[in-house]
Structure 1
Amino acid sequence: MNFTLFHLANSRSQRIIWLLEELFLDYQLVICDTQKNGEISDKIKHVHNLGKVPILVIDDDQKSDPIILTESSAITDLFAYRYPDLGIKNLNSTEQVHYFYWKNFSEATLMPNLVLKQIFSQIIKRTPLPVRFITTFFKYGFDHGYLNPILEQYMQNINAYLEQQQWMAGSKFTIADILIWFPIYACYQSNPDLSKYSHIQSYLDRIQNRPAFQTALEKGQWTDLDFKNYWQKSW
């Protein structure tokens, strides 16, 4: 079975490289470019018409047509089924509940609120200068009235949970950790006030010490400074 992953540097698709490295799978990595308008290069639209990364192409020699799969959560669900060591296989009943909760929390709750901050930043950027103050005030009000307090609450809850647990499912590293790392790190890098959570810092250090994570950063052309600058602008 052959895997080809289409990836954009410093994006959420970094997690899929990390997943493939944790599973010791061979794969071809295609690094995509970003155009001046912020859109991803047209070279991947022949693979999937939405042109969004990650795109994973699974070529099974026994089948005529390759499988083309997008969405990080869908990709990780498939791999949790096919390679269950990073799923629920080695978890007890309580850890399974934690696994499913945090895996879905990362994509359904935490990440969408971060994306909203980016959307409002882009709205300001694309608003004509004479009336830009309107969208700026709107973003300020929405940030301070809703987004910032709710993200702060999420980080508080995660920090309290990690005071008692080594990984998101409990004692074992799982796909839940791979998925939630990105939004936690985006929060952590966006706002210096969120770096006060010591248990989250210890958790991020544990992730940093994983050999597969380090290999994935190198292969994925991860640049910490660019990532930090990107998310700080949205805050």
Structure 2
Amino acid sequence: MAQPIDIYFWPTPNGNKVSIFCEEAGLEYSFKPINIAEGDQFEEAFLQISPNNKMPAIVDPEGPDGEPISVFESGAILIYLAEKTGRFFPQEPREKYRTLEWLMFQMGGVGPMLGQNHHFRQYAPEKLPYAIERYTNEAARLYGVIDKRLGQSAYLAGDEFTIADIATWPWLTNHENQGQNLDDFPNLKKWYEGVENRPAVKKAMERGKEVAEAGLTLDDKTRDTLFGKGQYQKR
């Protein structure tokens, strides 16, 4: 019987990617909560497997050579798990690189830009109109790119559900707080609702919420840990 993969996790879009993949692929996994509000991400034991002090990370007790392996960065984790299982990552060259294109689109564009959107619209201590407008507009632009693509194919990389979809969908679950209305993006909305209703996605999201049922309370201590000098200490 396969040993469960440990997911160092908090229910953020990047964390949810990994549990969604595991549920979709039928992989056993267990959560190792990393409470980012309390600063767990800076603990030395976690830094040994995620030197950039970001979650998620995984430890697979049954790595490629039969020995444990740790992997950090959510995109790398998805590629690792996809290659381990042979799921959601086409190997025909054209399909493979199309999948990688859209995965990198999420890693380099959707995640960072929507993350800045969240920060300035929800978390920044000052409401800065320039920043809010900039990142709300950039979010709309990215949604438009996705919408156009999904007018050409059922999923981001083509006609099959892949790690590109798994990576992107969690970042759009907070669309209202990003200042976006899915009705403005009909192709994206259809895809979004289809992914949302996949049984494995539902189960992963439910399990993730159980890790942090109370959500994030943004007091001064938490703000410092996530965004202030506590984030930038040399470690």
Distance in structure 1 (CA, Å) of the matches to 2:214 and 2:166: 21
- Name the counterpart of 2:87: 85
Q: 2:157 aligns with which of 163, 169, 183?
A: 169
TM-score, length-normalised on structure 1? 0.75
Q: The residue matched to 1:69 in structure 2 has which SS? A: strand
Partner of 2:199: 211
CA distance change for structure 1 residues 141 and 97 in 2, over 3 Å: closer, same or farther? Answer: same
With over 3 angstroms needed to count, the CA separation of the structure-2 counterparts of 1:196 and 1:225, relative to structure 1, is farther
Q: Find the aligned partners of 2:173 and 2:54 in 1 and give their Cα distance.
A: 21
Letter in 1 for 2:102: W
1:141 aligns with 2:99: no
In the alignment, which residue of structure 2 is the partner of 1:116? 116
Q: Distance in 1 between matches of 2:119 and 2:71?
A: 25
Q: Pick which of 114-123 and 169-178 moved more.
A: 114-123
Could you say if the C-alpha distance between residues 225 and 186 of structure 1 is closer, same or farther in structure 2, counting changes exceeding 3 Å?
Answer: farther
Bigger radius of gyration? 1
The answer as to whether partners of 1:22 and 1:212 remain within 8 angstroms in 2 is yes
Q: Structure 1 residues 184 and 4, CA, compared in 2 at 3 Å: closer, same or farther?
A: same
Q: Which stretch has the larger CA shift, 103-112 or 77-86?
A: 77-86
Following superposition, the deviation at residue 84 of structure 1 comes to 2.6
* Counterpart position of 1:76: 78
Contact map agreement 2:150 2:191 (CA 8 A) in 1: yes
Q: What percent identity do the matched residue pairs reach? A: 20
Number of corresponding residues? 211
2:206 & 2:122 partners in 1: Cα distance? 29
For residues 140 and 41 of structure 2, what CA distance do their matches in structure 1 show? 37
Deviations 1:31-79 (A, max 9, x none): 3334xxx344369642335542112011138979632211101101212
- Structure 2 equivalent of residue 48 of structure 1: 47
Amino acid at match of 2:170: F
1:7 alignment partner in structure 2: 9
Contact 2:10 2:33 in 1 (8 A): yes
**Counterpart for residue 230 of structure 2:** none
- Distance, in Å, in 1 between the alignment partners of 2:67 and 2:96 is 34
Query: What residue in structure 2 maps to residue 101 of structure 1?
Result: 101
Q: 1:167 to 1:226 in 2, by over 3 A?
A: farther
CA distance in 1, matches of 2:113, 2:41: 28
Q: Distance in 2 between matches of 1:112 and 1:192?
A: 16
Is structure 2 residue 23 aligned with structure 1 residue 21? yes
Q: Which runs of 5+ in 2 are unaligned?
A: 217-235
For residue 85 of structure 1, report the CA deviation from its aligned partner. 2.6
| 2:165 matches 1:191 | no
Q: How many Å separate the matches in 1 of 2:213 and 2:179?
A: 15
Q: Residue 230 of structure 1 aligns with which residue?
A: none
Return the alpha-carbon distance in structure 2 between the equivalents of residues 98 and 62 of structure 1: 25
Separation in 2, partners of 1:171, 1:74: 23
| CA separation of 1:101 and 1:18: change in aligned 2, threshold 3 A | same
User: SS in structure 2 opposite 1:79?
Assistant: helix
Q: Deviations over 1:138-194 (max 9, x none)?
A: x311332x3222221211121122122111111111111001112233335522445
Partner letter of residue 116 of structure 1?
Answer: Q
Q: Which residue of 1 aligns with 2:228?
A: none
Unaligned runs of 5+ in 1: 126-131, 228-235
Q: Distance in 1 between matches of 2:77 and 2:119?
A: 25
Distance 2:98 2:213 in 1: 29
